[in-house]
Amino acid sequence: MALLDVQNLKTYFHTEYGLVKAADGVSFHVNQGEIIGLVGESGCGKSVTILSIMQLIPSPPGEKAGGKVIFEGKDLLKYQPNGQEMRSIRGSKLTMIFQEPMTSLNPVLTIARQMTETLELHLDMDKSAARERGIELLKMVGVPDASRRIDDYPHQFSGGMRQRVMIAMALSCNPMIIFADEPTTAVDVTTQAQLLELMKDLVTRLNTSLVIVTHNLGVVARYAQRIYVMYAGRIIESGPSEAIFSDPQHPYTVGLLNSVPKLGERHGERKLIPIYGLPPNLINMPPTCAFLPRCNAKIGRCSKEPWPELRVVGKDHLISCYANIKGK
Amino acid sequence: MAKKTVNTAPSQDAMGVAVAPPKHSEWRRFARIFFGRKLYLIGFIIVVILILTAIFAPLIARYDPVTNDLPNKLQGPSTEHWLGTDQLGRDIYSRIVWGTQISMEIGFAAVFSSALVGILMGLAAAYFGGIVFAIIMRITDALMALPGIILVLLIAGLGGRGIGVVIFALAFGNIAGMARMMCGQALSVKQNDYVMAARSIGMSNWRIMWAQIFPNAFPPLIVGLTMGIGGVVLGEAGLSYLGIGVPAPAPSWGGMVMDGQGYLLQNPIISLAPGVAIMLLVFGFNMVGDGIRDAIDPRLRGVL
């Protein structure tokens, strides 16, 4: 059975201009020890999905509009967002790594204070034990001179080092699942590679599941075992990462892959084809497929019928599209 | 490991990352900026002198501040009476020294009690938002509409006089400002990712408010607090000047200014001396407030 089973998750935002369905029926599951990629453009609902699972969406304006998040046999959405049950899960069993290492650490507290917080909170450790564990964790994520550096303030660390600290904090209570919300977007490419390797090593070693949220296909291609592609608040294609990359079935995924260069390609061998247009405005969307205006594989049904349900096109491989691009 | 790498520059660990630079002392950095500017230093010295004066008033004062000595009234400065005597023959220098104690007492007590309440209100309003925010902000509106003078008059009318009433009235008048200031700061601090991160590790609302938001929202308030002391002392002087502050014969600076009013032409020092004392105190606390802000606010720090 899946460790985490998200079923038909819906999170809406009530804004001045109308209803924004930021996550509109998102379903996915995470197995133990698996690395999952959640891919999509900015504003497609990736982060909202993760924050909804953690119940960190501010309300108002956000609203839990439906769905289930089954974790250890219980529906997390049934809990109060700030209730005891939810708080005891957050940070111990489900943890997060945020995008911006520069701002996700509190500037006025030492690393030690911030690291020991989780340990004291969830594992009931005393101060000195928590500190020892903090140093051990910092060593694990490759922060040099950890026993001295733990007393430093965040501004004394570089961006990459801060993200290592964040990873260490996320790992501190031996979580079941780590949600990494664009963990490497704010650091440069070399650091990015180091951090991803580090995370992969650690989760494999500790048999923790990792959900990587990113807009970078290269990141998921290399590390994720299964991939979910999101568009306008929905999952439009999902499957094992080999299937997604070698045999994409949804026109959007095809477009995404056509628009990024591949390593080893000769100059001029393949033309990069952009996806024309912009992602739709999520306010008051039409019931038809949100990708329709940008789609180059549309068929007559598309503009008449509502957004298609996910259908199976291969082993564990699902798409939400009426067209059959491989049949053409 | 540290020993081995001492002589190998640049020192690197196994991962090819340079090891940590030597640590700076936060205190030394604070002191360097705080005492680095003359004006702050002067303000600080004034405040220190005033605080010491307040503490050691019994040793520093040369005469009893309340005992009349009518034969020696309205004397000019002399070696006997450094600042002369007032219309009841009391030594002005001694009265100012004792007045420092009263001013400090009122200043600190009023500011800290108002800060305590104001900060709690502001934090709660900003953190919880919504209805809590609306209610607390309307309360501050109501508080702002109530002048301290009226409040003191009211309490005095009900039969209460004394330092406690003055402190209460001045603190009461300060709460709204404190709550507003805290709320504004906390609202902006609340937007930071680390607050979300704190929630994501399951921290309770109370802990987030105090451990995450408060330390980040507080530095700008220090200015408000220190300057608030100056403001409160000024307020006390105002109330005493009107005769509804600290009751006579206690040596309150504001009361002393009023006492000297009738003798401005003959003996202006009776009013001038306590006036200068008030001015020095307000100036001192304002400078210290500015200095502290510059020295502890990471955004104004400029240097590592």
Strands A62-71 and A234-240, by their bridges, are unpaired
> Is B302 at the interface with chain A, CB within 8 A?
no
pLDDT given at position B8: 40
- Of B15, B130, B216, nearest to A107 by CB-CB distance is B216
Cross-chain Cβ contact B200/A92 below 8 Å: no
Residues 85-144 of B with CB under 8 A from A: 130
The verdict on residue A104 lying in a domain is: no
- Look up residue A288 and give its amino acid: T
Residue among B292, B295, B288, B223 nearest B32 (CA):
B295
- Of B1, B202, B298, nearest to A155 by CB-CB distance is B298
Sheet holding A209-214, edge to edge: A94-97, A177-181, A209-214, A35-39, A226-231, A234-240, A317-319, A311-314
Strands A4-15 and A18-30, by their bridges, are antiparallel
Cross-chain Cβ contact A108/B216 below 8 Å: yes
Cross-chain Cβ contact B196/A107 below 8 Å: no
Reply yes or no: is the peptide bond before residue B10 cis, omega within 30 of 0.
yes
Full pLDDT tens readout for chain A, 328 residues: 688 999 999 999 988 888 888 888 899 999 998 999 999 888 888 889 999 999 988 877 888 888 889 998 889 888 888 888 888 888 889 999 988 877 888 888 899 988 888 888 888 888 889 999 999 999 988 898 888 999 988 888 888 888 889 989 988 888 999 999 888 877 888 888 888 888 899 989 889 999 999 888 888 888 899 999 999 889 999 999 988 888 888 999 988 888 887 777 777 777 888 888 888 888 878 888 888 888 888 888 888 888 888 888 888 899 988 887 765 4
The verdict on residue A133 lying in a domain is: no
What's the distance, CA B125 to chain centroid? 24
* Structural domains of chain B, with CATH: 89-301 (1.10.3720.10)
CA distance A173 to chain B (A): 10
Q: Which among B128, B195, B199, B209 is the top mutation candidate for probing chain A, defined by the most A β-carbons within 10 Å of its own β-carbon?
A: B199
- Of B2, B193, B203, nearest to A117 by CB-CB distance is B203
> What's this model's pTM, rounded to 2 decimal places?
0.75
Chain A, chain B: beta-carbon pairs less than 8 Å apart = 93
- Length of chain A equals 328
The verdict on residue A233 lying in a domain is: yes
pLDDT given at position B6: 40
Domain encompassing residue A184 = 4-93+173-327
Residue among A168, A183, A237 nearest A213 (CA):
A183
CATH number assigned to the domain comprising residue A42: 3.40.50.300
> Is A122 at the interface with chain B, CB within 8 A?
yes
- Of B20, B201, B215, nearest to A117 by CB-CB distance is B201
- Overall number of domains in chain A: 1
- Look up residue A69 and give its amino acid: V
The verdict on residue A152 lying in a domain is: no
Reply yes or no: is the peptide bond before residue A248 cis, omega within 30 of 0.
no
Summarize pLDDT for B43-93 with one digit per residue, the tens: 999 999 999 999 998 888 888 888 888 888 778 888 888 888 888 888 889
Q: Which among B15, B194, B222, B303 is the top mutation candidate for probing chain A, defined by the most A β-carbons within 10 Å of its own β-carbon?
A: B194
The verdict on residue A274 lying in a domain is: yes
CA distance A88 to chain B (A): 6
User: Which chain A residues have a beta carbon less than 8 Å from that of B300?
Assistant: none
Rounded Cα gap, residues A166 and A100, in angstroms? 10
> Is B17 at the interface with chain A, CB within 8 A?
yes
- Of A54, A109, A144, nearest to B15 by CB-CB distance is A144
Summarize pLDDT for B215-232 with one digit per residue, the tens: 888 877 888 888 889 889
pLDDT given at position B4: 41
Interacting residues of A52 by C-beta distance below 8 A, sequence separation 6+? A9, A11, A23, A64, A69
Residue among A147, A62, A159 nearest A104 (CA):
A159
- Look up residue B113 and give its amino acid: S
Strands A226-231 and A35-39, by their bridges, are parallel
Cross-chain Cβ contact A82/B192 below 8 Å: no
Residue among A200, A209, A267 nearest A32 (CA):
A209
SS3 content of chain B, % helix, strand, coil (to 5): 70, 0, 30
ipTM score: 0.77
User: Which chain B residues have a beta carbon less than 8 Å from that of A105?
Assistant: 194, 197
pLDDT given at position B24: 59
The verdict on residue A42 lying in a domain is: yes
What's the distance, CA B129 to chain centroid? 29
Q: Are A263 and A280 in contact (CB under 8 A)?
A: no
The verdict on residue A179 lying in a domain is: yes
- The list of chain B residues with pLDDT below 50 reads 1-18, 20, 303-304
User: Which chain B residues have a beta carbon less than 8 Å from that of A99?
Assistant: 193
pLDDT given at position B127: 92
Handedness of CA A75, A80, A86, A88 (dihedral sign): negative
